[in-house]
Structure 1
Amino acid sequence: ANAELGAVWSVGQRIWQRDFPGIYTTIGAHQWSETIQPIMEALRDATRRRAFGLVSQAYTSIVADDFAAFVGLPVEEAVKGALEQGWQADFSTRMVMPKKPGVLEASFNRFVPSSEPAPVPPIPNEQQLARLTDYVAFLEN
């Protein structure tokens, strides 16, 4: 049990360091008990969903090998998953071009569970200012 606790701590350290490839490697390197295995699988899947989302927001193109390491999949599977999301891939240059999420499409259907809440639409500046004024007036009284 102590060795497993140490392995859980190692995974936590990789998460803290935002070392996505390290998270997958550390999870895969340990033989987890029956109680911890589902948690680690869920953590790996959630990390992968987050990585897909981050890549879609931060990159216009990314090298397929780097993308695969970031999402913790072999290159072929990573590119296949990207194509399933409507992304593009250029096999001659080995680049993946993420599809930017639109206003109504803030997440990808395959990699984001339906239990997550829908994104909150932005509030107009005038409304924000009115709300802030109400808060300040309330606090002054």
Structure 2
Amino acid sequence: MPVAVMAEGAFSFKKLLDQCENQELEAPGGIATPPVYGQLLALYLLHNDMNNARYLWKRIPPAIKSANSELGGIWSVGQRIWQRDFPGIYMTISAHQWSETVQPIMDALRDATRRRAFALVSQAYTSIIADDFAAFVGLPVEEAVKGILEQGWQADSTTRMVLPRKPVAGALDVSFNRFIPLSGMCFHMLFLKCFIVLSIFFVICMHFS
């Protein structure tokens, strides 16, 4: 079975994901090749689809896992993502020599993780130690500080503190929205339901008045 053709860009990575899923479904006996499993697992991580990543890891035959260390390496990255261990994600990605079919996906995953980290810091912190921030985004301190200055943030060289700038409403990276708790959404739905019930009650009262 041929390995799905490597792609560039977010749209192409989604297309590649569809190709890999189809190859697994069409594989003889439902057992795909290690390269297909590797690409598919890495792509689920890239798209922050942790449920499908976990289910895929469980259904990969143990013999294939034990014979292909790269699969275990990809899953190690997934475990760091699950734990929200941002420094661990970068470290685990850098610690492995990935195959040609997986390396571009891991590069994209590292970049996407860095964007999420920037977004999280801008939302959650009014100030953060430069070294901690650098570890959070997986960059050397000097490079991290240079990057935030270009984004309009501030940095104090005396205290070594980074002062994030709150993002414009609605301008968050799409991938960051996956981290937003559902509480706000649930409250909105509850309010909408209450409004509908009260409206119906008002109509009934008007009808019988």
Give the structure-2-normalised TM-score: 0.52
Tell me the residue number matched to 1:95.
161
Q: Secondary structure at the match of 2:78?
A: helix
Task: Name the SS of the counterpart of 1:89 in structure 2.
Answer: strand
Correspondence for 1:10 among 62, 68, 76: 76
Q: In 2, distance between residues paired with 1:31 and 1:131?
A: 55
Report whether the alignment pairs 1:133 with 2:199: no
SS at match of 1:60: coil
Q: 1:132 to 1:8 in 2, by over 3 A?
A: farther
- The one-letter code of the counterpart of 2:130 is A
* Structure 2 counterpart of 1:51: 117
Higher CA-based Rg: 2
- Aligned-residue RMSD, C-alpha: 2.5
Distance 1:22 1:49 in 2: 16
In terms of fraction of residues, the more helix-rich structure is: 2
1:1-141 equivalences in 2 (<5 Å): 2-103=68-169, 106-107=171-172, 112=173, 129=192, 133=196
Counterparts of 2:140 and 2:154 in 1: how far apart (Å)? 17
Deviations 1:93-127 (A, max 9, x none): 100000011335x23xxxx58xx9xxxxxxxx8xx
Counterpart-to-counterpart distance in 2, 1:72 and 1:83: 17
Q: Sort the Cα spacing of 1:132 and 1:84 in 2 relative to 1 into closer, same or farther, 3 A.
A: same
- Provide structure 2 residue ranges, at least 5 long, that are not aligned to the other structure: 1-33, 35-67, 178-187, 201-209
Aligned-pair identity (%): 74
Q: 1:10 to 1:130 in 2, by over 3 A?
A: closer
Evaluate the alpha carbon distance shift between residue 129 and residue 5 of structure 1 in structure 2; reply closer, same or farther with a 3 A threshold: closer
Q: Distance in 2 between matches of 1:18 and 1:75?
A: 21
Deviation for aligned residue 1:132:
5.2
- RCO comparison, higher one (Cα < 8 Å, 6+): 1
1 CA distance for matches of 2:195 and 2:107? 43
Once residues 131 and 46 of structure 1 are traced to their aligned partners in structure 2, the CA distance between those partners, rounded to angstroms, is: 39
